[in-house]
Amino acid sequence: MRPLLYTSKEFWPFMAALTLITVVFIYAYMVQLSRGLGVTGLNDIVIWGVYIVNFIFFIGLSHAGIAISAAVRIMKLDRYAPIARMAEVLTLASLMMAGLSIVIDLGRPDRSFLLVTKFAARIGSSPLLWDITAVATYLILSTTYLYLPMREDLKVVRDRMTGWKKKMYEITLPGYGEDEAPVIKRLAWWMAVTILPVMVMVHTTVAWIFSLLSNRPLWFGAAAGPYFIAAAVASGLASVVVIAAVLRKLFHWEDILPPEIFRGLGNVLSIITLTYLYMMLVEQFTARFAGPAGEFFVSEAWLFGEFATIFWSITTIGLALPCAYLLIQAFRPGKINITMTAIVSLVIVIAMWFKRYIIIVPTLTVGGSPLLAYAPTWVEIAILAGSFSALALIYTTLLKLIPIIEMEEPHHE
């Protein structure tokens, strides 16, 4: 309950900075709304840019929360229970930002209602609608999965608070009964079991938005689903490591978040990152050995052309080196450096954003015509910065409102 009860003097300036960046983001979006997508670097040929990169990235972040939390619940990995809710909150915040990224990318968001009115007519053949359906289902289930098991803890918080705060928490507990815990526990187990396939389908349908387009080099392919899921789990898991390390430092949770948790997360992260590097290698082999000309040209742009700096930075500094560090750490029992683990995890998160960038942009821009050039404008950069700021704002606000660690054990007080 420490985050709910105590506020440091740095908290308000931090929130003010985040709010300021978010306000700039809102202004930039209003400029885009009133003048149209012409204020971005997008055009009739390069139809997707940083907004869609953000969308895939945020969807990716959202995966770790449920993956960790469901694994803790189903496999009874009690050691990792303290990070489960941190991860669930990340899922919720990043899913909200993913949805917002899609809205921002729309040229005419005022026509969003067509999603509802044309649903039955379009669901049969529109991968975009499959994706929106999966994301909406995932968002609804994630909020349920976060809220129901948290009722016990909200009751504890309500009892500790006074005045308007007590009333506020009272509202969050409609129909609360002392004997509901076993029923909720069973329900939470079923939610953990059923939310995992939805989680897999979310990123599979995200991948299908790209991989079902047969004329787009390096998008079209059967392995896109697993490839996207590996990226999602890697970036999501890495984000949870970063968040857990920061909160551990801020709230002195050394006893609640022991080094073993970071070792375990680091081990899984190293394996997922290694798998992802393997998939990148396989993709390049396929594109270069006998792929159609388009595949080869995009691969050339990645490896030796205008995107080579980004590609090799991602591959070496962003993925291979952090993976090597985590693997070395895994093979040296007793040696764990939480700060370094958090830093290499942050590097992986950043690398995964840029990896999404080179998945999307080169396929649309490689070809030589000036019409195919793409560079984000100030509006896109403001919205990009604002999106991350809004994510941090949502997360920090939730951190101050709900118990971020399950309070089953007394020392969590």
Q: Is 343 in the site for other proteins (CB under 8 A)?
A: no
DSSP 377: -
- Rounded-to-integer distance, Cα 388 and Cα 28, Å: 14
CB of 204 to other proteins, least distance (A): 9
Instruction: Provide CB contacts within 8 A for 353, sequence distance 6+.
Output: 53, 57, 235
Q: For residues 175 and 148, is the Cβ–Cβ distance under 8 A?
A: no
Q: Is 302 in the site for other proteins (CB under 8 A)?
A: no
Q: Is 139 in the site for other proteins (CB under 8 A)?
A: yes
The string of DSSP codes covering 316-358 is: IIIIIHHHHHHHHHHTSTT---HHHHHHHHHHHHHHHHHHHHH
Q: Is 148 in the site for other proteins (CB under 8 A)?
A: yes
CB of 391 to other proteins, least distance (A): 18
Instruction: Identify the CA nearest to 413 among candidates 157, 115, 113, 182.
Output: 157
Binding-site size, other proteins (CB under 8 A):
48
Q: Is 166 in the site for other proteins (CB under 8 A)?
A: no
Q: Is 121 in the site for other proteins (CB under 8 A)?
A: no
Among 16, 183, 328, 372, binds other proteins (CB under 8 A): 183
Instruction: Calculate the alpha carbon distances from 250 to 3, 11, 245, 375 in Å.
Output: 9, 11, 9, 38
Among 184, 250, 308, 321, binds other proteins (CB under 8 A): 184
CB of 139 to other proteins, least distance (A): 7
Q: Is 109 in the site for other proteins (CB under 8 A)?
A: yes
CA terminus-to-terminus distance, the chain = 6
CB of 121 to other proteins, least distance (A): 11
Stretch that binds other proteins, among 29-37, 81-89, 162-170, 291-299 (CB under 8 A): 29-37
Three-class SS state of 379: helix
Q: Does the CA dihedral 239-233-198-100 come out positive or negative?
A: positive
DSSP 404: S
- Rounded-to-integer distance, Cα 409 and Cα 407, Å: 5
CB of 111 to other proteins, least distance (A): 7
Q: Is 161 in the site for other proteins (CB under 8 A)?
A: no
Among 191, 230, 274, 404, binds other proteins (CB under 8 A): 191
DSSP 412: G
Q: Is 201 in the site for other proteins (CB under 8 A)?
A: yes
Q: Is 116 in the site for other proteins (CB under 8 A)?
A: yes
Region of residue 176 (phi > 0: left; psi between -120 and 50: alpha; otherwise: beta): beta
Could you tell me the two tokens for 142?
A: 């994630």
- Rounded-to-integer distance, Cα 374 and Cα 360, Å: 11
70 vs 265, which CB is nearer to other proteins?
70
172 vs 286, which CB is nearer to other proteins?
172
Q: Is 79 in the site for other proteins (CB under 8 A)?
A: no
Q: Is 195 in the site for other proteins (CB under 8 A)?
A: yes
Q: Is 331 in the site for other proteins (CB under 8 A)?
A: no
Q: Is 171 in the site for other proteins (CB under 8 A)?
A: no
Among 10, 44, 110, 178, binds other proteins (CB under 8 A): 110
**How far does Cα 353 stand from its chain's mean position?**
10
Q: Is 124 in the site for other proteins (CB under 8 A)?
A: yes
Among 44, 164, 179, 410, binds other proteins (CB under 8 A): 179
CB of 346 to other proteins, least distance (A): 32
Q: For residues 78 and 72, is the Cβ–Cβ distance under 8 A?
A: yes
Task: Please give the residue ranges that form the binding site for other proteins (CB under 8 A).
Answer: 30, 33-34, 103, 108-113, 115-116, 122-126, 129-130, 133-134, 136-137, 139-141, 143-144, 147-148, 174-175, 177, 179-180, 182-184, 186-187, 190-191, 194-195, 197-198, 201, 205
